[in-house]
Amino acid sequence: MSTRIGLMSDLHAAPEPVQEALSVFRAAGVSRIFCGGDIAGYGDRLDDTIAILRNSPCQSILGNHEVWYLEKHGPNADPPAEYFRNLPYVIDEIIAGKRIYLVHASPPQSIMDGIKLLDETGRIMPDQKIAWTERLYGFEPDVLIVGHTHQVFAEQLGQTLVINPGSTRFNHTCAILQLPEMKVEVIPLSGETPVLAWNWGMEAYNDSN
């Protein structure tokens, strides 16, 4: 019997696509939901986004924006800080006979060294795929789930299936992982065409867009 896992990441204080993703997951009958971090950052509706997560079965990890928030505000300054200080850097579990490892950027627990496999058009960059395959040599988990780079992919790198479900806000995507088949379905959100590579490193984002 298949087990379905809901995946989302880089929510960036935009609650509507998060709510939509959770609705998609409920309809698909997922048994677990994981968020790859960066709940905060860019947007101004952080409290609303956290409220949705608190009222859901989603398990989240820390991204760089949560760490920066805690550094700026302190761990007990307000409800977001209280929520963030209880999040782990990594989730490492066995599900349906497969070892699943969730980290924001790259293992073992980096929040900044992101796995960037796509060029600006959303095509795989062969040199980066080779480089990351080499970097992950000896990495034992069957599935590695990451975020951070605002890219959408599911690529086999060596013995590990590496998945980035994309940003619910900027890529307009979430994903469902089916185990033990190791199948990944990317799901569009907000009535938008998925953006496979949202290049935050090249241009500033106008929050009014």
Tell me the three state secondary structure of residue 9.
strand
For the whole model, what pTM was predicted?
0.93
Do 167 and 149 meet the contact criterion of CB atoms below 8 Å apart? no
Query: pLDDT tens digits for 169-194?
Result: 999 999 999 999 999 999 999 999 99
Per-residue CA distances from 101 to 1, 37, 61, 133, 192 (Å)? 22, 13, 11, 16, 29
**CA 42 to CA 63: how far, in whole Å?**
13
User: Mean pLDDT over residues 85-100, rounded?
Assistant: 98
Q: Which domains does the chain show, CATH number per domain?
A: 3-188 (3.60.21.10)
Q: In what order do the strands lie in the sheet with 59-60?
A: 59-60, 32-35, 3-8, 173-179, 183-188
Q: In what order do the strands lie in the sheet with 90-95?
A: 90-95, 98-103, 143-145, 160-165, 152-157
Query: pLDDT tens digits for 100-121?
Result: 999 999 999 999 999 999 999 9
